[in-house]
Amino acid sequence: MIKAIVVDDEVKNREGLSKMISQFCHDVDVVGEAESVDAAIELIDEHDPQLVFLDIEMPEKNGFALLEHYDEPKFQVIFTTAHAEYAIKAIKLAALDYLLKPVNLNELKVAVEKAIQEAANNDQDERLSILKESRGQGDFKFQRIALPTSEGVEFYTISDILRCEADRAYCRFHMSNKQAVIVSKPLSDFEDMLQECNFMRIHKSNMVNMGHVRKYVKGRGGYVVLTDGSHVDVSVRRKDEVMKALGIN
């Protein structure tokens, strides 16, 4: 049995989630609920939980402030949110889990099971550090990404990624050092967050780091040449958008 606390400024959300956990997540014991970051810190220090369900949007201090209180949290985190799209991108970038409100029971079970399994991996500190450093002075500025692979979670500097290539249900990340990292998620799972990092979908199969585009070669759709010398086709439909982004008339 693992101990958990639920952090949310709305009492109906706290009570509702706690009830779902108690009824359907039999390996989890909710030992406390908190309505604020300060109250959560007191509960964590008192009960030493292994799992914290953490609301992102709260008055005065948001959920990220709780994580910044601890240099190396000893607990797993599952974020909860009703919206906060900007924060969800950062959470995905760090390969962390979140639940959308109202919480879906199946998604809750999956997230809890994953949190229990990942407690033994000891890589959450690295993933949380990605989240913390991306916050900057309040706005998210993404520098690194956590990529879940068949061997675990690997961490990379985003500026070192040349392009992301769709490979059926997988995504292949091509790095500036010639390394290719295969992730068992589709390219669409990364598109929204990488758009914030100067990446552009130039073809249904490829999203490129525009900072690595060395040349555009005209044609029906044309293609771009990246800094490693590789050629990537531009679809006819996206040609004008790509040329505009590159400042080509």
Q: Going from the N-terminus, what domains does the chain have, and what CATH number goes with each?
A: 2-135 (3.40.50.2300), 144-245 (2.40.50.1020)
- The confidence score (pLDDT) of residue 84 equals 61
CA distance 33 to 225: 54
- The confidence score (pLDDT) of residue 86 equals 64
Of the CA atoms within 13 Å of residue 237, those in its CB half-sphere come to: 3
Does the pTM exceed 0.85?
Answer: no
- The confidence score (pLDDT) of residue 126 equals 82
Question: Edge to edge, what strands does the sheet with 213-217 contain?
Answer: 213-217, 223-226, 231-233
Residue-wise pLDDT tens digits, 232-245: 999 999 999 999 99
Please, which residues bridge with residue 76 across strands?
51
- The confidence score (pLDDT) of residue 140 equals 61
Collect the ranges in the chain with pLDDT lower than 70: 84, 86, 120-123, 134-140
Neighbours of 189 (CB within 10 A): 12
Residue-wise pLDDT tens digits, 188-228: 989 988 998 899 999 999 999 999 999 999 999 999 999 99
What are phi and psi for residue 104, nearest 5 degrees?
-85, 135
What 8-state DSSP symbol labels residue 154? E
Cα maximum dimension of the chain: 66
Residue 98 CB partners (closer than 8 Å, separation 6+): 56, 78, 79, 80, 81, 88, 91
- The confidence score (pLDDT) of residue 94 equals 82
- The confidence score (pLDDT) of residue 137 equals 45
Is the previous residue joined to 102 through a cis bond, with omega within 30 degrees of 0?
A: yes
